[in-house]
């Protein structure tokens, strides 16, 4: 029986909710557990984790920009206002859906390791595993080449226009928001360890409090160079030279060729079907295949009949997470260097085999990877939809807070530490090699059913694939709309192996007790807990010509609509 706590109540939207995107009407239409309403408009919407970034994207839409233009502008602002999570020192993945053709395109703008960064080099330096921070964890940042590729293919406005809001906030300052201040304070020690990072990001030796106005004129200069000279500023020009000087000074091995030769890759998203929806994720080197494997396992069980937030349903979802993540750990990597059995891992037959190992009465704490070959076949996320219905689902990250902790000389940003996700174990798909891309946790996603098309994503390292699967189940099994599906309580596991899960306190005590009785070790977190990640979503109903937006209360952001052209003359 579905707990009434999680019933979605709609106000004047019964026909929409009764479609595959919605929820069930209530006897009391003004009572609901959903905290926020969706943003609904016939114009465009930009949903991000910080309201100023959402507003910047909406302004770009109002100037005639495309969803891709808006996503780039919003992402550039996020690099200013949420600097611990993203910026021009990080990587990017995106999915673009074209409303006219219905075509879906993926972009992998994750950077590669320097050519000279090898297992042999690191072992000679005394490393038994990849360093988690510092200059030797740095890989080539792919984000700006990713922006360039998106703009060339899907942009409408001039390139330089897209960076004006970000330049404004970097020069003039912005009041730091609540969650972002807390993230900032958590990384104080990392920032203090690097002179460049501490000069820029610590004010009088401390991270800024919520409401404090923060300025970053160095980063404004970097963005001005990107706006005026294009992506080459980062990969061949003045910023590239600063990156190389910083690396050389600290004993890094990045070369001019490592930067100049990097190019992003257009890819086809991978997909599965779930309860009538088609769900798309990015292929390796991202973790998207784990989300699809989880959904295929979910499908073997009657989650809606049980109640999508019941103990039975959550038990299955947790067990599916363990199975899919062991496969992720064993098989994911850069497909240009290793053969990744993607088709087998996301096949229905493989999921049926894996699902057989789930005991409905008992949690398994020691789960092994499967054999898919037998079956053949801290981050920022944003989504944007324009008035024509084109959707961009985009995610960008430095990996951990402030990435490597290394600030680039004179330019006010830190470099990512994505190299930390390589392994040094010979024969593993993710073993470090020059010009190889590491395993990536960041994944944008997309799903569609009939006239409904949704761009969505949920941040948070290893949280992401499992959060994606829970979001899809919330829609398909729970009948929730996109805002309620983001808000619904989640569980997460941020490592591999064992029976421990973080779980939000809003899951009823009786459900949690039933899960503990089956052997799960639950660590209760707050009602809207940061480790569960913050998500954003936009939905385009192509039959009605209406757009919907949603923003997760676990972040500081909002889904902001494009302003109407009421004052145009």
DSSP-derived 3-state class of residue 55 = helix
Q: Which residues are catalytic?
A: 379
Matching residue, tokens 């062991």: 326
Burial class of residue 186, CB neighbours in 10 A (0-12, 13-18, 19+): middle
Asked if 116 contacts 253 with a C-beta cutoff of 8 angstroms, the reply is: yes
Per-10-residue mean pLDDT of the chain, 569 residues long, equals 33 33 51 89 98 98 98 98 97 97 98 97 95 96 98 98 98 97 96 97 96 98 98 98 98 98 98 98 96 98 96 97 93 92 94 95 85 58 97 96 97 97 92 96 96 96 95 97 97 90 96 97 95 96 98 96 86
Residue 31 is predicted with a pLDDT of: 78
Distance separating alpha carbons of residues 378 and 346, to the nearest angstrom: 26
Helix or strand holding residue 247 (H, E): helix 238-249
Phi, psi of 151 (to 5 degrees): -65, -45
Helix or strand holding residue 292 (H, E): helix 288-298
Helix and strand element counts for the chain (H, E): 21, 19
Residue 25 is predicted with a pLDDT of: 40
Burial code of 419-454, b = ≥16 C-beta within 10 A, e = fewer? bbbbbbeeebbbbbbebbbbbbbbbbbbbbbeebbb
Nearest to 342 by CA among 296, 303, 301: 296
Residue 371 is predicted with a pLDDT of: 67
Task: Note the pTM of the prediction, 2 decimals.
Answer: 0.93
Residue 21 is predicted with a pLDDT of: 40
Domain residue spans of the chain? 1-569
Q: Where are the alpha helices (DSSP H) in 302-439?
A: 303-306, 311-331, 342-345, 348-355
Residue 14 is predicted with a pLDDT of: 32
The CA-based angle 75-244-112, given to 5 degrees, is: 60
In the 8-state DSSP scheme, what is residue 562? P
Burial class of residue 366, CB neighbours in 10 A (0-12, 13-18, 19+): exposed
Beta-carbon contacts of 84 under 8 Å, excluding residues fewer than 6 positions away, are: 180, 183, 184, 187, 378, 398, 401, 402
Pairing of strands 39-41, 546-551: antiparallel
């Amino acid at each position: 029986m579905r707990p009434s706590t999680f019933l979605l109540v709609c106000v004047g939207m019964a026909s929409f909710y009764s479609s595959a995107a919605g929820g069930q009407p209530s006897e009391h239409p003004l009572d609901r557990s959903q905290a926020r309403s969706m943003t609904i408009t016939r114009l465009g919407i930009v949903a991000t984790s910080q309201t100023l970034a959402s507003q910047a994207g909406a302004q770009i839409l109002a100037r005639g920009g495309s969803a891709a233009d808006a996503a780039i502008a919003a992402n550039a602002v996020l690099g200013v206002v949420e600097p611990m999570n993203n910026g021009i020192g990080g990587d990017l993945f995106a999915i673009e859906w074209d409303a006219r053709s219905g075509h879906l395109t993926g972009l992998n703008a994750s950077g590669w390791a320097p050519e000279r960064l090898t297992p042999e080099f690191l072992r000679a330096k005394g490393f038994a595993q990849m360093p988690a921070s510092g200059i030797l964890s740095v890989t080539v940042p792919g984000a700006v080449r990713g922006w360039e590729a998106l703009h060339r293919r899907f942009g409408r406005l001039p390139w330089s226009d897209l960076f004006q809001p970000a330049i404004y906030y970097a020069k003039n300052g912005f009041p730091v928001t609540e969650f972002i201040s807390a993230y900032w304070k958590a990384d104080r020690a990392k920032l203090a360890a690097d002179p460049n990072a501490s000069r820029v990001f610590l004010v009088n030796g401390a991270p800024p409090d919520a409401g404090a106005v923060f300025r970053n004129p160095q980063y404004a200069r970097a963005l001005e160079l990107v706006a005026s000279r294009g992506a080459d500023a980062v990969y061949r020009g003045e910023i590239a030279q600063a990156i190389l000087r910083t690396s050389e000074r600290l004993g890094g091995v990045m070369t001019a060729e490592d930067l100049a030769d990097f190019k992003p890759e257009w890819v086809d998203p991978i997909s599965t079907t779930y309860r009538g929806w088609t769900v798309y994720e990015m292929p390796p080197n991202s973790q998207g295949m784990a989300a699809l494997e989880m959904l295929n396992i979910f499908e073997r069980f009657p989650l809606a009949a049980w109640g999508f937030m019941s103990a039975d349903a959550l038990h299955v979802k947790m067990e599916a997470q363990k199975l899919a993540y062991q496969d992720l750990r064993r098989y994911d990597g850069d497909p240009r260097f290793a053969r990744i059995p993607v088709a087998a891992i996301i096949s229905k037959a493989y999921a049926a085999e894996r699902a057989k190992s789930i005991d409905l009465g008992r949690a398994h704490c020691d789960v092994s990877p499967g054999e898919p070959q037998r079956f053949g076949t801290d981050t920022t996320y944003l989504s944007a939809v324009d008035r024509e219905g084109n959707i961009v689902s985009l995610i960008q990250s430095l990996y951990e807070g402030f990435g490597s902790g290394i600030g680039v000389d004179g330019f006010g940003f830190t470099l990512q530490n994505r190299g930390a996700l390589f392994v040094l174990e010979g024969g593993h798909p993710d073993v470090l090699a020059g010009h190889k891309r590491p395993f990536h946790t960041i994944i944008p996603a997309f799903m569609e059913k009939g006239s409904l098309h949704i761009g969505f994503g949920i941040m948070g390292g290893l949280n992401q694939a499992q959060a994606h699967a829970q979001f899809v189940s919330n829609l398909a099994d729970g009948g929730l709309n996109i805002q309620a599906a983001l808000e619904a309580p989640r569980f997460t596991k941020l490592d591999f192996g064992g029976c421990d899960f973080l779980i939000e306190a809003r899951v009823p005590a009786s459900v949690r007790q039933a899960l503990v009785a089956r052997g799960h070790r639950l660590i209760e977190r707050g009602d809207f807990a940061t480790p569960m990640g913050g998500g954003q979503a936009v939905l385009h109903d192509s039959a009605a010509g209406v757009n919907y937006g949603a923003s997760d209360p676990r972040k500081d952001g909002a889904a902001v609509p494009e302003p109407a052209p009421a004052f145009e003359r």
